[in-house]
Amino acid sequence: MNRRKFMAETLAAGAAVSIASAPANGSKAKFVKILGISCSPREGKTTATAVKAALDAAKRVDRRIEVELIDLGGLEISGWSGGAKATEGRQIRDDFDLILPKLRDPNVGGWIIGSPVYFRSMSALCKVFLERCAVLRKPKLLLADTAVGVLSVGAFRNGGQELVIEQIQSVLLCHEMMIVGGKPGAHQGATLWNFANDDITKDEFGMDTARKLGIRVAEATLRLVPK
Ligand SMILES: Cc1cc2nc3c(=O)[nH]c(=O)nc-3n(C[C@H](O)[C@H](O)[C@H](O)COP(=O)(O)O)c2cc1C
């Protein structure tokens, strides 16, 4: 079964895409969800692992927090094409449709988004995903006041991770999202170095920044959601 088919069937069954966990207190009533979005075309690799680490740290902050990873790896998503205004709603049919309901979930109060560094820029997949999120701006800014933190993974220690974080943050400002960095040591977001043949857990410093990002996003999310 290919990834697209798997996603379609999983969604049809009403299940989560990759990880979804119930609130730690077992209650279904008062919870807020933090979505992690991994924008590497390589499913389950270093970016996804880093985003998952951030989500795990976020979840440990408070029992009201639920997390879910959306791994864009293996999905086919096109960028915005001409002929329709970005405000006219859904424009093309592709795998973006599979994740759109998750992005529109009213329980979502926070995002953690990660991209690999590709030539000192965000990945093309990250860019097309962000372009397609234009549909979340009308009829109202659905992502406004959603806390969001950004991480980036590169193969070099100074490979452009901070540039990628800033590029993504610039886009998110157009949604009036509430951009946060991480706890001290990761103020700009999480920066990871893939030096050990795709085993990103070997980058202890970088993994620590991912956890610090997750904690800060969780704190901000709890402040921003109505009590
Ligand atoms: C087309 C391409 C360009 C890349 N450019 C950079 C770069 O400019 N700086 C860097 O540090 N790493 C660069 N890398 C390496 C990736 O950022 C790195 O392998 C990352 O861990 C990949 O993320 P993933 O494991 O989630 O796919 C590049 C990789 C590719 C495929």
CA of 61 to the centre of ligand 1 (A): 31
Question: Where does ligand 1 bind, in terms of residues with CB under 6 Å?
Answer: 40, 42, 45-47, 116-120, 153-156, 159-160, 194, 198
Ligand 1 midpoint to CA 6 (Å): 26
Q: Which atom of ligand 1 lies nearest, measured to the CA of 114?
A: 26
pLDDT recorded at residue 227: 62
Which residue, by CA, sits nearest to atom 29 of ligand 1?
118
Return d(Cα 209, Cα 95) in angstroms, integer: 30
- Give 167 Cα–ligand 1 centroid separation in angstroms: 16
Structure confidence at residue 13 (pLDDT): 40
- Identify the residue whose tokens are 């993994």: 207
- Given this model, what pLDDT does residue 82 score? 66
Give the separation between CA 192 and CA 50, rounded to whole angstroms.
8
Q: How far is the CA of 102 from the centre of ligand 1 (A)?
A: 27
Give per-residue pLDDT as tens, 106-133.
999 999 999 999 999 999 999 999 999 9
Q: Which residue, 215, 185, 225, is CA-closest to 55? A: 215
Per-residue confidence band for 29, with pLDDT thresholds at 50, 70 and 90: very low
CA of 104 to the centre of ligand 1 (A): 30
Protein residue with its CA nearest to atom 19 in ligand 1: 155
pLDDT at 85: 57
Whole-angstrom Cα distance, residue 220 to residue 223? 5
Question: Which residue's alpha carbon is nearest to atom 3 within ligand 1?
Answer: 118
**Residue given tokens 């946060």 in the structure block:** 180
Q: What single-letter amino acid sits at 135? A: V
Q: Ligand 1, residue 38: give the atom nearest the CA.
A: 26
Structure confidence at residue 18 (pLDDT): 34
Kindly give the distance from the C-alpha atom of residue 169 to the centroid of ligand 1, in angstroms, as a whole number: 19
For residue range 76-94, what is the model confidence (pLDDT) as tens digits? Answer: 999 987 655 555 555 578 9
